[in-house]
Amino acid sequence: MPLTVAVQMDPLESINIAGDSSFALMLAAQERGHRLFHYAAEDLNYEAGRVWTRAHPVTVQRVEGNHFSFGDPVKLDLGDEADVVLMRQDPPFDLGYITATHLLERIADRTLVVNDPAQVRNAPEKLFVLDYAHFMPPTLITRSVEEARIFLAEHRSIVVKPLHGNGGKAIFKIDADGQNLSSLIEVFNTAYREPHMVQAFLPEIAQGDKRIVLVDGEVAGAINRMPGEGEIRSNLAVGGSAAKTELTEREREICAELGPELKRRGLLFVGIDVIGGKWLTEINVTSPTGIVAIDRFNGTDTGGMIWDAIERRVRERG
């Protein structure tokens, strides 16, 4: 059955179609005959119990520089006229993002929102993962220079990163001498009101940071992201490169423990990050990426798997 799908995401002209997961999902939906609309989170409106937006009907094609075509904008009632909303705008997970989840939560009883907006709000990447601390590297969340120094003295080498950062931005390594630690915490305390994440540095990052994608709680595939020259960050957005990989026994254990909870929460498309085959560092639920590279290396169709799961959920809702 063809579905009406509203995609809440960043401007289409700014994406890199060679690796963009949202674009891959749109292509997969279109191939199945689903009707696509595009809108931005800031275009959401609420009035008299209705959540609506000015949305563009859109068609997509894998042609660089000519990858989408908009129709005339329409007023789209997301509760009554859409079957599915894909919430795919990139972080930061700021008040605009949070407000969008509150608005979309008001239609979630009528329209399937992927991922579930209340659960996205309640599961920020670097906080949700604390539920699985037994899989994590030693971790401190703090704004205190003194506590960070004590942690550094214990672990000898640490990384400091924003609690709500994304894409490998603003991740710093501090070695045992503690040089610049005080200055870095001061800068972070000025830039962010929330505490920051401090973790023991994992030398295994030199062998890569694995992105594992789970669809409705089941493993769909994985890639190993290798840091660029002179980098500790392996995110593809900051120069990392992707390589084919297999899951370790420990990684399968992590996925088996996370899977049922992700499914229960309606977190249908999730990307987790694991270093050294055993250290879980993030659970990405806002706008996970990686499916294009996974399919390229493995010959799989992760976009198709995601749409199978979405269509199944829509049927179950009646």
From 88, 121, 210, 233, the catalytic residue: 233
Is residue 161 flagged as an active site residue?
Answer: yes
Under a CB-based contact definition with an 8 Å cutoff, are residues 137 and 161 in contact? Answer: no
From 88, 121, 210, 211, the catalytic residue: 211
* C-alpha distances in Å from residue 103, one per residue of 54, 62, 116: 15, 32, 12
From 83, 88, 125, 126, the catalytic residue: 126
Six-digit token pair at 120? 């996205």
Is residue 75 flagged as an active site residue?
Answer: no
Q: For residue 114, what is the enclosing H or E element?
A: strand 112-114
Q: Which amino acid is at 234?
A: S
Six-digit token pair at 54? 């000015």
Under a CB-based contact definition with an 8 Å cutoff, are residues 265 and 116 in contact? Answer: yes
**CA-CA-CA-CA torsion sign (172, 174, 178, 179):** negative
Q: How far apart are CA 317 and CA 259, in angstroms?
A: 21
Is residue 149 flagged as an active site residue?
Answer: no
Under a CB-based contact definition with an 8 Å cutoff, are residues 220 and 214 in contact? Answer: yes
Is residue 284 flagged as an active site residue?
Answer: yes
From 20, 273, 295, 311, the catalytic residue: 273
Task: Give 260: exposed, middle or buried? Use CB within 10 Å, 0-12, 13-18, 19+.
Answer: exposed
From 115, 224, 235, 284, the catalytic residue: 284
Is residue 296 flagged as an active site residue?
Answer: no
From 88, 121, 161, 265, the catalytic residue: 161
From 121, 210, 225, 265, the catalytic residue: 225
From 209, 251, 282, 295, the catalytic residue: 282
Q: How far apart are CA 27 and CA 259, in angstroms?
A: 26
Asked if omega into 180 is within 30° of 0 (cis), the reply is no
Is residue 143 flagged as an active site residue?
Answer: no
Report the catalytic residues: 126, 161, 211, 225, 233, 273, 282, 284
